[in-house]
Amino acid sequence: MTATPPLPRRDAGRALVCVLLGAVLELVVAPPGPAPALVFVLDAPFLVLLFTTGRWARWAFLYGFARFATGLWWLWYVNPWMIVGAAAVLAGVQTSWGLVLRFGARRRVPFLPLVAVTAVGTEMAQACVMGVSGMPWPARSLAFAAWPDLVGFAAYFGAYGLSALAAATSAWASGLPGLLRDDGYRVERVRGLVASGVLLAIGFGVAWFYGAASRAQVGARLEGPGARAARTDPLVIVQASILQDMKNAKEQNADDILARHLHGTAEALARLADERQRALAVLWPETMIPWPFVSRELAQRFPQAWEAQHSVLRAIRDTVPAGQPSRFLLGVNHFLVGAKGPQAALWDHDSTDAVVFVDLRDLPDETPDPAAWPADGRWPWEQVPARHEKVVLVPWGEYTPGGTYLPFLRGLRDRISIIPEITPGDPDQAPFELALAPPERPGGPNRRVLAGSIVCFEVAFPARCRAWRRAGATVLLNAGNYGWYGDSTMPAQVLALARLRAAELAVTVVIAGNTGPSCIVDPTGRVRTQVVRDGKTQFVEGWCAGPLYADPAYETLYLRWGDVPWAVATGGLLLAAFLGRRRVRDERSVPSGPSVEPPSAGPLAPSRDATSETAPG
């Protein structure tokens, strides 16, 4: 058995430069990074490393670890070890991507589509690591928030289409260093780069044109002479800016937390009353009710918890000025009897992260007897449905991957996260009915303005948002507590996600962030109103209010076909790999990187003196 030869210093130096460059690009590209345009070369260092370095797998893992540790630096505010764990897992995804790319290049699969489609596959895989992951892992598409017309292109192929565009341009750019190689094939490389560059430019122009057209078409339906979308009364969003340390010690700070939200609510509703406007409803962020709401069984067993719940509801009702409606969408922890066993303050209960919808006009002054629960299971002040529960949970924060089969993992999770495990909600929940709007045409039926709740990081998952839209929701309510991540870049990335989701599905996205952002994004991806104080949107108290736009008759192409095009494209690549002739590794093989015919063998194809260690095929 022969020993592995040491990596030449030149190769090691080049690989290290690629690793460092990948980390820097990740930092400056993601919102609110100063250079979003660099997303078009974001993957180029990795592709160069992949096809020009021996022991590529080790370097690919290091590259992925450095890139994701940099991109997820905001996890430091929660637990530094979460950065290490997440970066290690995602580095494994990056290395697997490298394996797929090298295999595809060896089978002569055209390089640019190979990189573009498999890049989308990596982003989908990142969302599925460790089971169903509820974290917004770095995505190329976030940088496109800098260009509203390109955001509009998400209506056709989703945010994944933007990621594919960025990956394809990176694949092209990775061929540029090959022009420095004088191995007899420079002219072929130039021709290939020019040809593929022209095709990329055409694709980029098409994306920009159709993105602008989509924004114009949706915008015309919202406002103007031909407007067809329903426009509701203003929805009020309260941002009380509760620091996470304060929220963690809610037993001592519960009264103060509630008082801040009540103050913002009273101020907002009074201002609307002065302007002779009626609020549609008031939205509070995720888990901002500092006492749990309890199920029927727990209400009877723990009357003090039931009393506290109704004391909170009465306090909220009493802040509403005369003439304003008493409808509230409240972020709460809902406790119910379940299978997970004792947790937190009440024994034998599960906890769900929920948004409850109540109309407090009919709330009695006396706490009702829980033993007299209505036969239909709903109190008069509860809307139908009364509650949405979070479905996609954060691994190691809200649930333990594999904890059902390996109980000791839950002990590890408890050391990382201070919150009890959460039970996921039903994926098929029915939307809230926020309003009845006039018919689109005279004589037609009234239109229901329906809303689905995407709690916290569920906004990062296109499939979850698409499920709500297919259930009839034209408004997505993102109740979140992003105070976990300090005064970092994470809120800006949440806002970018909201704009992409709005454009993908032509829906209004409402963000109620405890510490920010709190805003309303219309179906074109435009921010209509936002909490801003002294130029800051994070860690400031305030409120904002604005109408919601609902256009149930309009459907984007992405809503209709979802991610099917990516499945078809993946199948096409597999077919090409199956039918492709395996590249022969010898000194007579003609290199054909992204600079030759359609690019097919990696950014820097092997030259006459290439070794089997560095050749991609």
**Greater model confidence, 106 or 617:** 106
Helix (H) or strand (E) holding 449, with range, is strand 447-453
Q: How confident is the model at residue 596 (pLDDT cuts 50, 70, 90)?
A: very low
Residues 151-179 have a mean pLDDT of 96
Per-residue pLDDT, 104: 94
Q: Where are the domains of the chain?
A: 9-222+563-579, 230-391+426-553
Structure-token pair, residue 267: 């101020």
pLDDT digits 0-9 by tens, 496-532: 999 999 999 999 999 999 999 999 999 999 999 999 9
pLDDT digits 0-9 by tens, 272-288: 999 999 999 999 999 99
Per-residue pLDDT, 438: 84
Q: Rounded to whole angstroms, what are the CA distances from 136 to 82, 141, 279, 565? A: 14, 12, 32, 22
Q: How confident is the model at residue 81 (pLDDT cuts 50, 70, 90)?
A: confident
Task: Compute the mean pLDDT over every residue in the chain, rounded to the nearest whole number.
Answer: 89
Asked if residue 602 has pLDDT above 60, the reply is no
**493 dihedral zone (left: phi>0; alpha: psi -120 to 50; beta):** alpha
Q: How confident is the model at residue 308 (pLDDT cuts 50, 70, 90)?
A: very high
How many angstroms separate the CA atoms of 520 and 530, rounded? 7
State the DSSP string of 39-103.
GGGTTHHHHHHHHH-SSHHHHHHHHHHHHHHHHTGGGGGT-HHHHHHHHHHHHHHHHHHHHHHHH
Per-residue pLDDT, 5: 54
- Weakest mean pLDDT among 327-341, 488-502, 549-563, 586-600: 586-600
Q: Give the number of other CB atoms < 10 A from CB of residue 57.
A: 14
Per-residue pLDDT, 408: 83
Structure-token pair, residue 437: 């709007």
Residues 297-319 have a mean pLDDT of 95
Backbone dihedral angles phi then psi of residue 239, each to the nearest 5 degrees: -120, 100
Asked if residue 585 has pLDDT above 60, the reply is no
Structure-token pair, residue 243: 């620091």
Angle, CA 129 vertex, CA 124 and CA 133 arms, to 5°: 85
Highest mean pLDDT out of 189-193, 385-389, 584-588: 385-389
Q: Can you give the length of the chain in residues? A: 617
Which CATH number describes the domain made up of 230-391+426-553?
A: 3.60.110.10
Helix (H) or strand (E) holding 387, with range, is strand 382-389
**Greater model confidence, 493 or 583:** 493
Asked if residue 610 has pLDDT above 70, the reply is no
- Weakest mean pLDDT among 147-156, 550-559, 586-595: 586-595
Per-residue pLDDT, 250: 82
Asked if residue 566 has pLDDT above 60, the reply is yes
Portion of the chain with pLDDT greater than 90, in percent: 73
Per-residue pLDDT, 603: 55
Per-residue pLDDT, 580: 75
Residues 184-206 have a mean pLDDT of 92
Q: How confident is the model at residue 600 (pLDDT cuts 50, 70, 90)?
A: very low
Per-residue pLDDT, 169: 97
Structure-token pair, residue 395: 């691994």
Sign of the CA dihedral 617, 160, 392, 248? positive
Portion of the chain with pLDDT greater than 70, in percent: 92
- Weakest mean pLDDT among 23-32, 436-445, 553-562, 577-586: 577-586
Asked if residue 417 has pLDDT above 70, the reply is yes
Asked if residue 3 has pLDDT above 90, the reply is no
pTM score: 0.92
Residues 230-236 have a mean pLDDT of 97
Residues 169-179 have a mean pLDDT of 93
Asked if residue 122 has pLDDT above 90, the reply is yes
State the DSSP string of 590-608.
PP-STTSSS--S-SS---T
Per-residue pLDDT, 609: 37
Q: Which residues contact 449 (CB under 8 A, 6 or more apart)?
A: 230, 232, 433, 434, 435, 436, 437, 474, 475, 548, 550
